[in-house]
Chains A and B, each alone.
Chain A
Amino acid sequence: MLTTLIIDDEAPSREELKALLAAEPDVEILGECANAFEGLAAIHRLRPDVVFLDIQMPRVSGLEMVGMIESSALPHIVFVTAYDEHALKAFEEHATDYLLKPIDPQRLAKTLNWLRAGAHPALKAYPGSTNALRQIPCIGRNRIFLLGLDAVEFVHTDIAGVQVVGVKQQGTTELTLKLLQERTPLVRCHRQYLVNIDQIAEIALLENGAAEILTHSGKCVPVSRRYLREMKDRLLIA
């Protein structure tokens, strides 16, 4: 049984793919998403085997989205696109699987066969997917937005998930701390915190060997003993 997720911003497009997949008895469609924000959440929540991913999507493209998926949760990705010269060229070079819209059922069958046989190319590195992130997709109160990295003060985890705290706004993101640490210049200062070095106003050293960062806008970020040394090295403080 293959569990799949369809991520595409165009309803007719999802509908068509759904209809094609419905003909396959061993394929289960776990859900469908209309953009990368929903898509990331669904991947992390549903852990599908396969994701059919449209490239052209609002704000965060399919290619950018792949770079935001935690590597441990990375499913098989089948890119779906109507026409994208540059992406197609890169796919060919990296033996990445892709489908062209309108989808040819025979070509889809081939992909499904690879998947069933375990011969589907695993997405290790699609150029661009491992590039540094420039912005973090967030869900705030009633709205979805992209927060530029410059505006991020710090990121931390709590029960609700990963919180991104910006100068003016904050929200929850589907991205994990680990991924953010890898793909952004944010620096780990605590088991649950990443901080933007450029936003640090001062560091107050505490008696127990830990410290506390004060950001430019006056917010407090804890620094644990374990990460203080690294922080100091990073800031060239002996």
Chain B
Amino acid sequence: MATLPAVSAPPHAGARALVMRLRKGDEVARLITLAFASSILLVTVALVYQLWVGSELARHKFGFHFLTTSMWDPVSGQFGALPFIYGTVITSVIALLIAVPLGVGAAIFLSELAPARLSSTFTFFIELLAAVPSVIFGVLAFFAIVPLMRDYVDPFLKKTLGFLPFFSGPIFGYGYLTAGVILAIMTLPFIISISREALLDVPVEQREAALALGATRWESTWQAVVPWARLGIFGSIFLALARALGETMAVTMVIGNDPNIHASLFAPGYAIAAILANDFTEATGDLYPQALVALGLVLFLLTIVINALARLLIIATTRRGSAHP
């Protein structure tokens, strides 16, 4: 009996084989699911394409200056993205400055100190916070946080830190700081949830080694456990940043809608997502809508980059199970 050649693929090839395979049902299933899966690719490609094409006028007129000009005047046809980029970035930075210490602190408590049941109950509630729709945060910010900031927090900051340019200037209640605060509340659950997972993954031996050398509970946590989990924690921070950058409703409702750059954090400003929400349906003419789409493109690219970084960091943690330099 002659030996057959190496068989790694189905024995026949060509169209007749395809029909034979089709009858088996497996190939049909593969093709159907493949079609659905490719729809995701198609949508993404279409999205990028439309954003690119839909902003053509603006891109050709302004080029890269679009990103550096701060004049936004629809009447005269001058569109510069800088105030919006500034507003988006500054509110996100404020959000992180508040949410990161709070979130990492809570994550440390939940992973190191809290008994298991307390930890999972608390985490359950915190993760529910992530499910709250953004418009509800907006309503709360608008009715509850703005007066709070205007009447208590801002005056206090002005009194104590008023020598800094950040905390000088008139107080309205709306503005960069308030938007930053609400963003902090919205991104907090993500930081806590992911950092907690990263901290729980740290092998017990790390903490025990530090304690065995005479470190206090805090020292072993801060110097042995947290560094081990730092990739995951950074990943969570980037993820929170990405969400803060794209967050629309809550920011729109409290940022003040002023397309100018101000040094004072009390001042009203604008963010990319906010002006899109406000002006998109009202934009007239040819250039105006395209300038807005160009803003959308900027936001899109910004969030992609940050998200990619976040995922790299989080994947690096889970794959290696540790933070090694």
Whether chains A and B associate is: no
**Chain A residues with a Cβ under 8 A of chain B:** none
